[in-house]
Amino acid sequence: MDDDLPTDFQVIVVGTGMVESIVAAACSRIGKNVLHLDSSDHYGGLWASYNFDGLQKFIKEVNSDPKRQLQVYNLAEKWYIEKASAEESKAEGEEKPEDGKGDPAKKVWTQDSFAAEYRKFNIDMTPKLLFSRGPLVELLISSNIARYAEFRCVTRVLTWLSDKLMPVPCSRADVFATEAVGIVEKRQLMKMLTSIVGYNEEEMNNEFKDWNDKTFKEYLTHKGLTPNLIHYVLSAIAGGTNSMPCLEGVKECKKFLMSLGRYGNTPFLWPMYGSGELPQCFCRLCAVFGGVYCLNRPIDKVQTKTADDGKTVVTIDSKSKTLNCDHLVIGINECPKDLISPEPAESCDISKAVFITNGSIMKSDKEPLTLLRFPPLSDEDNAVTVLEVGPATGSCPKGLFVVYFITNKVKDAESDLMPIAEKIFDMSGGDQTADTEKPKCLWSLFYNVKDTSAPVASTADSVHVCSGPDAGLDFDRAVEQAEQIFKKICPGQEFLPRAPDPEEIVFEDDVTHGPEFQREDEDAEGDAPKE
Amino acid sequence: MAKTYDYLFKLLLIGDSGVGKTSILFRFSEDAFNISFISTIGIDFKIRTIDLDGKKVKLQIWDTAGQERFRTITTAYYRGSMGIMLVYDVTNEKSFENIKNWIRNIEENASADVEKMILGNKCDLEAKRQVSKERGEQLAVEYQIKFIETSAKDSLNVESAFYTLARDIKAKMEKKQEASNPAGARTGGHQLRNEPQRKPTSWLSRCSLL
C-alpha cells in the first residue's frame, strides 16, 4: 500500500515530534505540498503518550535496541504490587462511579488489574504544561487548532517547605486567604508581585540595570523579603534555585503572573489525555490542508543535489523508493550525523521518572491537578518539577494518580529522583488499603533522556533540523523553534493563520455532478482525500 | 449564548481510502454529490442538526482528512467520539476485509461504549459489485453492529443511516442519565463528554480554548 506514496513534495517532514509537527502544519496551511513521515508506528517520537501496553512495548524496545539507548537510557521499571490478587476480587470489571459521599473502599491493585485497564492510561514521555497566556495557547487559539484538543486547569501549585508540602498562594485572593504568611509579609509579597507585573521592557531594564550579574535571590533579599517569601517567589513561582540570575527570575515571575486569571486559579493548563495529543493536533491540521501522512516509514539516506536550474533538491531513500523535496525538516533523532553541523556540544541530560500511586500527594476535596516545584535537596542537586495528574485528565483509571518527575541529570535518574520520591510517596509496597499519610507507590519507571533541545544547524540550507524535548516546564521553545524554521522555508508568509471553521466554508456552485464517480484501482490517486 | 440544540454528538467516519466517506459526509450535510470541491478544501468536519423525537440533535461529523490512507489516523481523532460509521465500498473486496482491522483500531483507541454502524457504500454500482449484501449483513451480525448499504451518489440510505446511529446514541445516553440521576451525585471532575443538558458549574475548570 505504501507504494502509491507520491514521490515529489515541496516539504518533507521526518519525525512527528512537537517541532516537526508544528512546522508541517504551518507549511501545509499556506499551501505547501507536505509529506510527513515517522519511522515508528505512532505519532510523537519522544513527545508521545503511551497507554500501559504501549509503554511496556516502548520499554522493551529501548532495552533491546542499543541505538535507541543513545536517546533514552538507564530505564528502570519496578512494581510494588503483586502480579495477581490472592483471592478473586469480589467486584470485577467496571467500577461503578461512587455515589454518595466519603471515600470508597480503596481498591487493591495488581499488575493484572493494570493490564486489564491498560487503555485507560495515557503516560507521557514528555509531560509539559501550557502557560495560559503563553505562546502555545495563543498559537492554538489564533490558528484554530484549539478545536482538536481539550484541557484541564492545574488546580494548585505546591512547594516543599520546612519538610512538608505547602500550597503556594497564586492569585491575589490566595495571598489574602493563606495562613502560611503573616499580614506584613502579605503586603510585602503583593507589592513585590504587583511591581514585577507592572514593568514594561524599558522599566524592567532600568530597575534591574545593576542586577545583571547578580542572582534573583540577592534581589529578593535586597527588597527585604522574609526567607519564607523568598522561597515562595524564587522556588515556587519563578521555578528557580539560589543561582538563578536576577533578570531570568523576574521574567519567569512575570510569565507566571501574566498567565493568572485566564482559565483557572493557577496559570497552567494540562492537555487532556496527555501532552502526546498536541503534536497530533498539528498533524491533523496539516492533513486537513492536504498533507500526506505515513508512519512506519524509516528513511535510509538523505542527499542534497543541485539541479540544473541551480535549485537544491533533497532526495531521501526510504524503503527502496526515492522521495524528492525542496526542503527537508527532520527531527534530530532521525537525522543522519553528516547533516548536523557542527556536532552539538555535550549538554546536561535529563532525568525523569513516572510513578503510579493510589492517592494524591496532598489530599484535596476535588480531584487535584498539581504542579510541585521541589527545591534542590543539596547544593549539588537541581530543582525537580513534579506534575501529578488524575483520572479526570484521561491519564489513568479511577483511584490512581500518575506523577511525573523531571530534572536536569546529575548522576542518573534513580539516584537523582528517588530521594524526593521517598519524601512524598510511601515506597514500601505492602497493604494498599492501609490508611497511610503518603500515597502508596504502585509502580515506578526511572529513565534518562539525552538532552537534544539545543538548536542545531545543518550542513545544507534546505535541511532543517528540529530539536528534541527540553527539561523545561512548557512548550515555548518548541513553538519558537518551529516558527523560526517555518520562516526560513516560507519567508514572508504568515505562520499558521486561522483555519476556517467548517461552517464558514461555503460552496459556490450548486449541486452539479462532478466527474464520473468510479474508480478502477483499489487505491486513490492524488494527495488529497479524494473519495 | 443561546443553545440551539439539545444534544451534540461527535461522529466519525472510518474506512479505507476511496470508499466514499467524504461523499457520504457531503450527501448528508449538504445534500450534494460533487467530487471536485471535496478534494480542494480542508474539511475537518461538517455539522447538521436533525430532529429526533422532538429533540434537536446537532451532529458534528468528522472526516479522516486522508490520514487513513497509510493507516495513520491519530489517536486524537477518536477522542470524545460517540458514534462511528465504518464504511466500505461494495465494489472493493479489500475495503470490506479491512473493516475488521478498522474495528480493531477503534477498540484500541475509541471509548469502549462508542456506537458503531457498518455502511456498504456505492451500492448503485451493481455491475461492479464484489461484496454481496449478505456478506455485509453477516459481518455485522458477527460484531453485533447495525448494517446498511448506501449510495452517496444516488442519495440512498445515507439519511437513514445517520438517523439510526444518532437515535442509538441518544437512547444510550438517556438510559445512562436515568441510571445516574437517582443518585444525583456527580463524581469529582467534569465529564469527558459534552453534556449539553447539565452545564458544568464552572466552565473555567475544563475548557476548550475556543
Q: Which of A245-249, A443-447, B34-38 has the highest mean pLDDT?
A: A443-447
In terms of Cβ atoms closer than 10 Å to its own Cβ (0-12, 13-18, 19+), residue B148 is buried
Amino acid at residue number A224: G
More confident residue, A71 or A514: A71
Average per-residue pLDDT in chain A?
88
CA atoms within 13 A on the CB side of A379: 1
Which of A105-109, A186-190, A491-495, B107-111 has the least mean pLDDT? A105-109
Residue A525: its pLDDT value, please? 38
Q: Is A94 on the interface with B (CB under 8 A)?
A: no
Of A119, A137, A517, the CB nearest to B209: A137
Element spanning A130, H or E: strand A130-131
Asked whether residue B187 carries a pLDDT value surpassing 50, the answer given is: no
Nearest Cα of chain A lies from the Cα of B184 at a distance, in angstroms, of 8
A524 band by pLDDT with thresholds 50, 70 and 90: very low
Asked whether residue B162 carries a pLDDT value surpassing 50, the answer given is: yes
A261 band by pLDDT with thresholds 50, 70 and 90: confident
With both helix axes pointing from N to C terminus, report the angle between B93-109 and B133-143 in degrees, rounded to the nearest 10: 20
* Mean pLDDT within A430-459: 91
Percentage, residues of chain B above pLDDT 70:
80
Nearest Cα of chain B lies from the Cα of A147 at a distance, in angstroms, of 7
Asked whether residue A61 carries a pLDDT value surpassing 50, the answer given is: yes
Cα A458 to the chain's mean position, in Å?
25
Residues of chain B found within 8 Å of residue A517, distances taken between Cβ atoms = 23, 33, 35, 122, 153
Asked whether residue B60 carries a pLDDT value surpassing 60, the answer given is: yes
* Mean pLDDT within A452-475: 92
**DSSP 8-state secondary structure symbol assigned to residue B73:** -
Give the sheet arrangement for strand A401-408, strand by strand: A72-79, A441-449, A350-357, A401-408, A384-389, A370-374, A156-161, A164-167
Which of A9-23, A41-55, B184-198 has the least mean pLDDT? B184-198
A506 band by pLDDT with thresholds 50, 70 and 90: low
Provide long-range contacts, Cβ within 8 A and 24+ apart, for A193-201.
Answer: A193/A233, A193/A253, A193/A257, A196/A250, A196/A253, A196/A254, A196/A257, A197/A254, A197/A257, A197/A258, A199/A250, A199/A254
| Residue of chain A whose Cα is closest to the Cα of B109 | A119
More confident residue, A212 or A438: A438
Average per-residue pLDDT in chain B?
83
Which of A45-49, B56-60, B176-180, B206-210 has the least mean pLDDT? B206-210
* A190: number of Cβ within 10 Å: 14
A198 band by pLDDT with thresholds 50, 70 and 90: confident
DSSP helix/strand/coil, A524: coil
Residue A298: its pLDDT value, please? 94
Nearest Cα of chain A lies from the Cα of B43 at a distance, in angstroms, of 6
Element spanning A217, H or E: helix A216-222
Q: Is A173 on the interface with B (CB under 8 A)?
A: no
A527 band by pLDDT with thresholds 50, 70 and 90: very low
DSSP helix/strand/coil, B71: coil
- Report the predicted TM-score, pTM, of the whole model to 2 decimal places: 0.89
Which of A186-195, A371-380, B193-202 has the least mean pLDDT? B193-202
Q: Which of A226-240, A250-264, B85-99 has the highest mean pLDDT?
A: B85-99
The answer to whether the Cβ–Cβ distance between B75 and A507 falls below 8 Å is no
Q: Is B69 on the interface with A (CB under 8 A)?
A: yes
| Residues belonging to chain A | 531
Q: What are the DSSP E strand ranges found in chain B? A: 7-14, 45-52, 55-62, 83-89, 115-121, 146-149, 206-207
Condensed to tens digits (0 to 9), the pLDDT of residues A389-412 reads: 999 999 999 999 999 999 999 999
Distance separating alpha carbons of residues B206 and B195, to the nearest angstrom: 13
Q: Is B127 on the interface with A (CB under 8 A)?
A: no
B181 band by pLDDT with thresholds 50, 70 and 90: low
More confident residue, A252 or A516: A252
Closest listed residue to residue A317, CA positions, set A336, A302, A330, A306 = A302
* Mean pLDDT within A367-382: 93
Closest listed residue to residue A394, CA positions, set A402, A384, A403 = A402
B1 band by pLDDT with thresholds 50, 70 and 90: low
| Residue of chain A whose Cα is closest to the Cα of B48 | A503
Condensed to tens digits (0 to 9), the pLDDT of residues A303-359 reads: 999 888 888 899 999 988 999 999 999 999 899 988 887 766 667 899 999 999 999
Interface of A with B in 306-335 (CB under 8 A): none
| Residue of chain B whose Cα is closest to the Cα of A37 | B72
Residues of chain B found within 8 Å of residue A519, distances taken between Cβ atoms = 18
Distance separating alpha carbons of residues A45 and A39, to the nearest angstrom: 9
Contact A257, A189 (CB under 8 A): no
Grid cell for residue A337: 550525523
The answer to whether the Cβ–Cβ distance between A530 and B39 falls below 8 Å is yes
DSSP A366-391: SPP-EEEEEPPSSTTS--EEEEEE-G
Q: Is B144 on the interface with A (CB under 8 A)?
A: no
Q: Is B149 on the interface with A (CB under 8 A)?
A: no
Q: What are the DSSP E strand ranges found in A410-459? A: 441-449, 457-458
Interface pTM, i.e. ipTM: 0.85
Of A140, A263, A503, the CB nearest to B204: A263
In terms of Cβ atoms closer than 10 Å to its own Cβ (0-12, 13-18, 19+), residue A479 is buried
Condensed to tens digits (0 to 9), the pLDDT of residues A64-102 reads: 999 899 899 999 999 999 998 765 544 444 444 444 444
Residue A510: its pLDDT value, please? 42
Asked whether residue A485 carries a pLDDT value surpassing 60, the answer given is: yes
Nearest Cα of chain A lies from the Cα of B164 at a distance, in angstroms, of 24
Distance separating alpha carbons of residues A117 and A96, to the nearest angstrom: 14
- Give the Cα-Cα-Cα angle A363, A366, A371 (nearest 5 degrees): 65
Residue ranges in B110-186 assigned as alpha helix (H): 133-143, 158-180
Alpha-carbon dihedral A521, A526, A528, A531, rounded to 10 degrees = -30
Closest listed residue to residue B170, CA positions, set B52, B50, B87, B39 = B52
The answer to whether the Cβ–Cβ distance between B207 and A263 falls below 8 Å is yes
Residue A88: its pLDDT value, please? 52
Closest listed residue to residue B104, CA positions, set B14, B20, B9 = B14
Contact B187, B63 (CB under 8 A): no
Distance separating alpha carbons of residues A376 and A235, to the nearest angstrom: 9
Asked whether residue A116 carries a pLDDT value surpassing 90, the answer given is: yes
Strands A292-294 and A34-37: parallel
Q: Is B72 on the interface with A (CB under 8 A)?
A: yes
